[in-house]
Amino acid sequence: MPMVLLECDQDIPERERHIYFKAPGEDSRDYLPAANAPTIPGTLSERGCSFCGAKLVIGGVLKDTIQMIHGPLGCAYDTWHTKRYPSDNGHFQLKYSWSTDMKESHIVFGGEKRLEKCMHEAFDAMPEIKRMVVYTTCPTALIGDDVKAVVKKVTAARTDVDIFTVECPGFAGVSQSKGHHVLNIGWVSEKVGTVEPEITSEYTINFIGDYNIQGDTDVLQRYWDRLGIQVIAHFTGNSTYDACRSMHRAKLNVVNCARSAGYIANELKRLYGIPRLDIDSWGFNYMAEAIRKVASFFGLEEKAEELIAEETAKWKPQLDWYKERLQGKKMAIWTGGPRLWHWTKAVEDDLGVEVVAMSSKFGHEEDFEKVIARGRNGTYYIDDPNELEFFEIMDKAKPDIIFTGPRVGDLVKKLHIPYVNGHAYHNGPYMGFEGFVNMARDMYNATHNPLFRLAAIDIRDDRALLVEEAA
Ligand code: CFM
């Protein structure tokens, strides 16, 4: 009985197809959870919308670009500043967001004029910024505003600007995953190949599917620099709009998040013949393996070994200190999808932590293939979970720590289980050698924090206090 029908799902038995419990000796190919499917009516999904997948995850990371969101104010507000992807130009992209603030009359009479006015206003207000991404949202897509025609007009009036249009309203797909796809394909077909980069090394890569969460990109950039590898474009951590237009000139595409950006790597291979190399950037073993793979493509094996030895000598003692104290702890990962397969073996091998439950909001079946192959027996694998399932699984799996976002994090607090932000991190970066020490430190601080035990005491009950004092 490897697929699981939870107690709370008795009224929506279709949910059984989405929850797998891995047992020894099974052929897991027979039991892949259904994924990337429409959410079942009756279940309160934790998913985001397709527009969010394009804007919050990929487009909004660009550090020199106006993000014009053609829709009601909430679409702009709710995809702004919840994600921490800093940049080396003063975090322009974190400070600002733009909305056409569509109201009822604009919906009735059309919003094209309003969009045109807003685009000019934004460029006038920020004269040093010459790049813009315009997004449609549910209402403006439904009323049929011709955004591309407006972009054409504005570009004709301002010859020094470049504008990219993302037509991916919230309802375009079953989750944010659709937004990744639309942005990837749109960008590679309309923008890649329109700028020529300055080539400074014979070893050139694009680093794809890394969004500089709390400085991840910066850590990896130091490794590429030491190997003498030039990064033509980061897609899109700490990146400029124009760097991403010159991706066609790299010799290799190195892919971290295959879910959100595997599409552009595949297209770059198809259109320009650039090979794709997937890596894992979290964890000591994985990071070393990644550096070896990239270096061996260019014949830089020796330099790679030096780098790995140096970084290991510097950070391994700290990692081991945490490993000693985290050994045997149980962990749940409740995020988007890829971090499940990036992390489960990394925390097991490098920290001795067992991952006992993993849920993916929008991963596809291929993500479940990867995570089930890498994950342990006796672990739950869940697609598109709801809140009641979360509580029931936590009760069964009993993790000591949960990696998830602030929304599920609030539920976690009610259970008096420590939580670490698995999306934007607590105190990152988490990638690379030093990053994984940060991740271990945050796990240690969370699991050893006495507040969680104290917070679980009902202070209305004097006896509980007495028991606590006696302890
Ligand atoms: Fe890729 Fe990401 Fe992730 Fe993701 Fe995300 Fe994310 Fe995630 Mo939150 S791009 S798929 S859409 S690794 S925002 S930085 S943490 S759910 S597992």
Q: Give the mean model confidence (pLDDT) for residues 411-425.
A: 93
The pLDDT, as a whole number, for residue 460 is 77
pLDDT the model gives residue 360: 98
Rounded CA separation 124/121 (Å): 5
Q: Residue 457: pLDDT band by 50, 70, 90 thresholds?
A: confident
Interval 315-350: pLDDT, tens:
999 999 999 999 999 999 999 999 999 999 999 999
What mean pLDDT, rounded, does the chain reach?
A: 96
Residue 321: closest CA among 444, 219, 448: 444
CB of 257 closer than 8 Å to CB of 181: no
For the chain, state the CA radius of gyration.
23
What is the structure's pLDDT at 455?
79
Give the mean model confidence (pLDDT) for residues 104-113. Answer: 97
- Residue of the nearest CA to atom 8 in ligand 1? 423
What is the per-residue pLDDT for 384? 98
Looking at residue 386, its amino acid is N
- Name residues whose C-beta falls within 8 Å of residue 403's C-beta, 6 or more positions apart in sequence: 331, 332, 333, 334, 335, 339, 343, 419, 420, 421, 422
Q: What is the pLDDT of residue 28?
A: 77
User: What pLDDT, on the 0 to 100 scale, is given for residue 29?
Assistant: 78
Packing angle of the helix pair 432-447, 216-227 (nearest 10 deg): 150
E strands, 267-336, where? 276-278, 330-335
Higher pLDDT, 451 or 243: 243
The closest-lying atom of ligand 1 relative to the alpha carbon of residue 180 is 11
Pocket probe for ligand 1: among 176, 235, 257, the residue whose CB has the most ligand atoms within 8 Å is 257
Maximum Cα–Cα distance for the chain, whole Å?
Answer: 77
For residues 166-195, give the mean pLDDT: 98
pLDDT tens string 136-170: 999 999 999 999 999 999 999 999 999 999 999 99
**In angstroms, rounded to a whole number, what is the distance separating the alpha carbons of residues 170 and 184?**
16
Among 28-37, 67-76, 203-212, 256-265, the least confident range: 28-37
Whole-number percent of the chain with pLDDT over 70: 97
Domains of the chain with bracketed CATH: 50-173 (3.40.50.1980), 204-305 (3.40.50.1980)
- Distance (angstroms) between ligand 1 centre and the Cα of 3 equals 26
Residue 464 pLDDT class (50, 70, 90 cuts)? low
Q: Cα(430) to centroid of ligand 1, in Å?
A: 13
DSSP 389-456: HHHHHHHHH--SEEEE-HHHHHHHHHTT--EEETTT-SS---SHHHHHHHHHHHHHHHHT-THHHHHT
Closest ligand 1 atom to residue 361 Cα is: 16
Average pLDDT for residues 215-219, to the nearest whole number?
98
Give residue 278 CA to ligand 1 midpoint distance, Å. Answer: 16
Give residue 336 CA to ligand 1 midpoint distance, Å: 5
Per-residue H/E/C for 215-270: HHHHHHHHHHHHHCCEEEEEEECCCCHHHHHCHHHCCEEEECCHHHHHHHHHHHHH
pLDDT at 77: 95
**Ligand 1 atom closest to Cα of 83?**
13
Pocket mutation for ligand 1, best pick of 56, 57, 79, 234 (most atoms within 8 Å of C-beta): 57
Average pLDDT of the segment spanning 99-114: 98
As for ligand 1, residues whose beta carbon falls within 6 Å of it are 57, 176, 211, 213, 257, 259-260, 335-339, 423
More confident residue, 460 or 183: 183
Contact in structure between 133 and 100 (CB atoms under 8 Å): no
User: Ligand 1, closest atom to CA 422?
Assistant: 15
Cβ atoms of residues 65 and 134 within 8 Å: no
Q: What is the pLDDT of residue 133?
A: 98
More confident residue, 465 or 49: 49
Measured by CA distance, the residue closest to atom 2 of ligand 1 is 257
Q: What is the pLDDT of residues 365-411, one digit of tens each?
A: 999 999 999 999 999 999 999 999 999 999 999 999 999 999 899 88
Examine the pLDDT at 69 and tell me if it is beyond 60.
yes
Q: Ligand 1 center to residue 457 CA distance, Å? A: 35
User: Of all atoms in ligand 1, which is nearest to the CA of residue 339?
Assistant: 17
Put simply, whether the predicted model's pTM sits higher than 0.85 gets the answer yes
Looking at residue 444, its pLDDT comes to 98
Give the DSSP H or E segment for 164: strand 162-166
Distance 367 CA to ligand 1 centre (A): 13
The alpha carbon of 296 and the centre of ligand 1 are apart by a number of angstroms equal to 28
Torsion of CA 239, 242, 184, 364, to 10 degrees: -10
Distance from Cα 335 to the centre of ligand 1, integer Å: 7
Give CA–CA dist 383/34, Å, rounded: 7
CA-closest residue to ligand 1 atom 6: 423
Band of residue 89 on the pLDDT scale cut at 50, 70, 90? very high
- Top mutation candidate among 260, 360, 362, 431 for ligand 1, by most atoms within 8 Å of CB: 260
Protein residue closest via CA to atom 16 of ligand 1: 336
DSSP state of 379: -
pLDDT of residue 112: 98
Q: Whose CA is nearest to atom 7 of ligand 1?
A: 336
Distance 198 CA to ligand 1 centre (A): 31
User: From ligand 1's centre to the CA of 373, what distance in Å?
Assistant: 20
Mean per-residue pLDDT for 122-141?
Answer: 98
213 CA closest ligand 1 atom index: 14
- Residue 147 Cα to ligand 1 middle (Å): 28
The pLDDT value recorded for residue 466 is 60
b/e map of 45-59 (b: 16 or more CB within 10 Å)?
A: bbbbbbbbbbbbbbb
Which tokens go with 14? Answer: 């279709």
CA 121–ligand 1 middle distance (angstroms)? 32
Taking each continuous run of H as one helix and of E as one strand, the counts in the chain are 20, 14
